Structure 1
Amino acid sequence: MGVTVIEELPKKGFLKFRQDQLFQVRKLFNLEKPGRVKEAIELLREWLEKQDHFNKKDFSDVYLELLLITSKGSVERAKSRIDKLCTYRTIWPHFFTAIDVYSFKEDFKTFNSLILPEVTEDYSRVNIFKINSNVPLQADLVLTYIKFSIILCEYCKLHDYPSGFIIVLDYQDVNLLDLLAILSPAQLQQMINLYMEGFGMRIRGIHLVTTSKVSDHLIMLLKQVLSKKLSNRIHVHRNHESLYDFIPKKILPADYGGDAVHMSEMRDDFFKELSTKEHMEYMKEIQSATVDLKKKPKDSSIDEMVMTGSFRSLSVD
């Protein structure tokens, strides 16, 4: 069975790509030489067939190519990524239950979360998470958000081709003390593991937007679960304007003084794509990508801390 590599990135759909993005991102991860992507996918397929503990092995060529991209072109890292993500689906099934993005309709009164359609100059994808004003923060906010964000992550895992990710945490309209009261290092560790170790988010910057004087306390909490290298990529902004030093104004929503449409309009367009029959069926199908823990090798790359619930600082690419 032959391998099909991506010839060009889509020109239609919610996610937009720069004209040279396919080549430049491949070049960044040493995948630009003819035949290199195909060879890497073949190696992944051969490895997958030998993994008796996998309950799903028939991942598409597109999925495997994008897995390579989020693994910086490394076949060995791609093996580790897919093994970890399938294991997380097995040991943390409560995070992977959501399929319909509109099932979170009531939760949107508390938060807004969006992947911007346009990328930055260096092909990074921007994700904005904003907590709305004048809403009480429930204890299950983090769990709810993880379940919601997995829908976004699964979509990007199949459709995006970024060099990395930029995270914007907009807490301007929330009392950070209320937020800190519902956060725990253990839960944050699980969330970061899912995003970085499972979905392979190469985080190039974390931008915290807040005027609160207790922002240092939030940063201290984040540093408990992030490596020093990634902790140094945390930036605090007192207003939207300073974001322009890191994210082009032209791709930011009008809500942030940007040149693009309002966040609500972007979200409506994105959610229409997330709620198509094709994506909903894919979300159901990908839930079967789990592992049989009884067959899983004991010398697997999954850390013991995943099983025990302890946590450590994560490294960063």
Structure 2
Amino acid sequence: MGLGGQQVQDYIFDLPETEKKRALEELREDDSTREQSLDQMRDWINKHPNIKKCRTDAPFLLRFLRTKKFSVPQSCEMLERYLTIRQLYPQWFRNLDCEDPDLADIINSGYLVPLLERDNGRQILFSCAGKFDPHKYTSAHMVRVHSLVTEALMDDEVNQINGYTYINDESGFQMAHISLWSLTDVRNILRCIQNTTPMRHKANHFLNISSNAIKLIEFAVSLLNEKLKNRIFMYKSIEEMHEKIDKKILPKEYGGEIPMQEMLEKFKTLLKEKREKILALDDMYIEIDEKSCPLVSEMNEELGIGIDGSFKKLMVD
């Protein structure tokens, strides 16, 4: 049974051969592994004493299985963490409504847009720091927009298999962006990204980094695991980035063919289509015992650098 008692539909793998091949080579995925793993995960969810309600359809569970290369124990652990953080941080992960005026406004600004063309099969997420107004919106708004955008993309099986490329244009990044964040928030959001979000993060490209942004990025990078650190690239100019990324797939404003606005309009249509499904994620429920939940104590651990508060302190060198 799925969430709310609906029947789980039989899963049909009808992706192109290129994806099947990559799934087998990179994720060890074949029909029998997939079927057994889905059964084992559903069984685990049904028997879990604290999970009261959870989606059990294949596209949802495959987010975790593919991120963890079909290690069922690791996939189950990641799902448990995913459900937990949605409840620990409702301000970041719940009620992600594309019709919420603030979220709609930030989406309309073009702050974060999934591109239409893929990078070697990967979904590209393009962000423009300068389009996020730090005087009007908070860090929670920023995280919510990322959560909304990624929830709209994570059930897509091509994205699950091929992963994601991020391109971040940091022009327009101001000190005001930095003062939105406390060190604890940055650490916690990075932990959420690394350990609880079922996405294969393949490459992170940064463009037009100001001296203000570089310290923030260096601090954030220092908190990442080695694998993710090695997937970060920084460029002095757009031409330098073109050597690494085929400019054809970029928005017209960055040397490509399709204007950013056209890509944004297409994405807004997708958000409308997915609205009910994304809001329905809030029906999932796990009971959390704050005293014994390892994730709670992990998130509350003191920062090793001995200071907390805001990033302004990083600037006082």
Report the TM range for the smaller structure's normalisation. Answer: 0.7 to 0.9
Task: Looking at secondary structure, tell me which structure has more helix per residue.
Answer: 2
Deviation, 1:268, is: 0.7
Residue 223 of structure 1: aligned partner: 221
**Given that residues 95 and 279 in structure 2 are in contact (C-alpha distance below 8 angstroms), is that contact kept between their aligned partners in structure 1?**
no
User: Which aligned pairs between 1:23-172 and structure 2 lie closer than 5 A?
Assistant: 23-32=21-30, 34-95=31-92, 96-101=94-99, 103=101, 104-108=103-107, 112-121=111-120, 123-132=121-130, 137-138=134-135, 140-162=137-159, 163-172=162-171
98 and 309 in structure 1: CA distance in 2 versus 1, 3 angstrom threshold: farther
Which structure 1 segments of 5+ residues have no match?
10-17
Query: What amino acid sits opposite 1:113 in the alignment?
Result: L
Q: How many residues align?
A: 295
Residue 289 of structure 1: aligned partner: 284
63 and 312 in structure 1: CA distance in 2 versus 1, 3 angstrom threshold: farther
Deviations 1:262-288 (A, max 9, x none): 111111111111112xx2221221112
Secondary structure at the aligned position of 1:105 is classed as helix
Residue 312 of structure 2: aligned partner: none
CA distance in 1 between counterparts of 2:187 and 2:158 reads 26
Query: What amino acid sits opposite 1:293 in the alignment?
Result: I
Deviation, 1:245, is: 3.1
Deviations 1:169-210 (A, max 9, x none): 2112333x3333333322122322333322223322221111
Whether 1:302 aligns to 2:295 is: yes
Query: What amino acid sits opposite 2:13 in the alignment?
Result: E
**Given that residues 63 and 199 in structure 2 are in contact (C-alpha distance below 8 angstroms), is that contact kept between their aligned partners in structure 1?**
no
Secondary structure at the aligned position of 1:49 is classed as helix
Residue 12 of structure 1: aligned partner: none
Query: What amino acid sits opposite 2:26 in the alignment?
Result: L
CA distance in 2 between counterparts of 1:218 and 1:233 reads 17
CA distance in 1 between counterparts of 2:137 and 2:303 reads 20
Residue 203 of structure 1: aligned partner: 201
**Given that residues 126 and 166 in structure 1 are in contact (C-alpha distance below 8 angstroms), is that contact kept between their aligned partners in structure 2?**
yes
Query: What amino acid sits opposite 2:25 in the alignment?
Result: K
Taking only aligned residues, the RMSD between alpha carbons, in angstroms, comes to: 2.8
CA distance in 1 between counterparts of 2:109 and 2:129 reads 6
Residue 13 of structure 2: aligned partner: 7
Secondary structure at the aligned position of 1:120 is classed as coil
Query: What amino acid sits opposite 2:173 in the alignment?
Result: V
CA distance in 1 between counterparts of 2:27 and 2:35 reads 14
Deviation, 1:3, is: 6.7
**Given that residues 101 and 151 in structure 1 are in contact (C-alpha distance below 8 angstroms), is that contact kept between their aligned partners in structure 2?**
no
Deviation, 1:19, is: 5.5
211 and 199 in structure 1: CA distance in 2 versus 1, 3 angstrom threshold: closer
Which structure 2 segments of 5+ residues have no match?
2-7, 306-317
- Percent of aligned pairs sharing the same letter: 17
Deviation, 1:255, is: 1.5
CA distance in 2 between counterparts of 1:160 and 1:138 reads 37
Residue 251 of structure 1: aligned partner: 249
**Given that residues 110 and 131 in structure 1 are in contact (C-alpha distance below 8 angstroms), is that contact kept between their aligned partners in structure 2?**
no
Deviations 1:202-232 (A, max 9, x none): 3222211115234431233213422344234
Whether 1:265 aligns to 2:262 is: yes
CA distance in 2 between counterparts of 1:161 and 1:144 reads 28
**Given that residues 3 and 42 in structure 1 are in contact (C-alpha distance below 8 angstroms), is that contact kept between their aligned partners in structure 2?**
no
CA distance in 2 between counterparts of 1:70 and 1:131 reads 27
